[in-house]
Amino acid sequence: MNDRVLVVDADRQRGDSGDRPVVDVAVGILIDSASRFLLTSRPEGKVYAGYWEFPGGKLEAGEDVEQALRRELQEEIGVTIGAVHAWREALVDYPHALVRLHFCKVFDWTGALHMREGQQFSWERLPVCCRPVLAGTVPVLEWLAAEQAA
């Protein structure tokens, strides 16, 4: 595979194996009828706590991206999502893990937002007001900006 890798905090040590496993992560870009998108803050106890990101999480064994996204959004923000539109992927090398992010757009969901992990949330437009934004999330804002400009 010929992915370009975004290296984050390059000055911090990685595991000593050159061959780190790739962790797949399903990420949801929830877009409402006013074209705003949902950002949430990473909860206490997780790496990069307090950084803003799109909701989602790691695939569990046997899950595909869509299944993981349905489960994560139910667990983390209390909504049941409708159709999942696979959009972009990114490979990000953090000190804690090498992750492949599968960004999906979601326009339909049911249920009221309920931050089950004590996160903050914000419905955003570009440019976003939330700070800091997680490094692996920043490219998505650039892609959304490019899409709006097209």
Ligand X SMILES: Nc1nc2c([nH]c(=O)n2[C@H]2C[C@H](O)[C@@H](COP(=O)(O)OP(=O)(O)OP(=O)(O)O)O2)c(=O)[nH]1
Q: Which of 104, 97, 117 is nearest to 42 (CA)?
A: 117
Q: Quick one: 96 or 107, whose CB is closer to ligand X?
A: 96
Residue 122 forms beta bridges with which residues?
39
Residue 100 forms beta bridges with which residues?
24, 91
φ and ψ at residue 4, rounded to 5 degrees: -80, 140
Q: Return the H-helix or E-strand segment holding 138.
A: helix 138-149
Q: What is the edge-to-edge ordering of all strands in the sheet holding 121-124?
A: 52-53, 37-41, 121-124
For position 25 contacting ligand X by CB under 6 A, the verdict is yes
For position 58 contacting ligand X by CB under 6 A, the verdict is yes
Q: Quick one: 107 or 139, whose CB is closer to ligand X?
A: 139
Give the three-class secondary structure for 19: coil
Q: How far is the CB of 111 from ligand X (least distance, A)?
A: 18
**Segment interacting with ligand X, rule: CB under 6 A, options 48-56, 78-86, 107-115, 118-126:** 48-56
Q: How far is the CB of 147 from ligand X (least distance, A)?
A: 17
Q: How far is the CB of 134 from ligand X (least distance, A)?
A: 5
For position 56 contacting ligand X by CB under 6 A, the verdict is yes
CA 101 to chain centre: 7
Considering only residues 65 through 104, tell me which ones interact with ligand X, judged by CB under 6 A.
92, 94, 97, 99, 101
Interface residues with ligand X (CB under 6 A) are 25, 27, 46, 53-58, 92, 94, 97, 99, 101, 134, 136-137
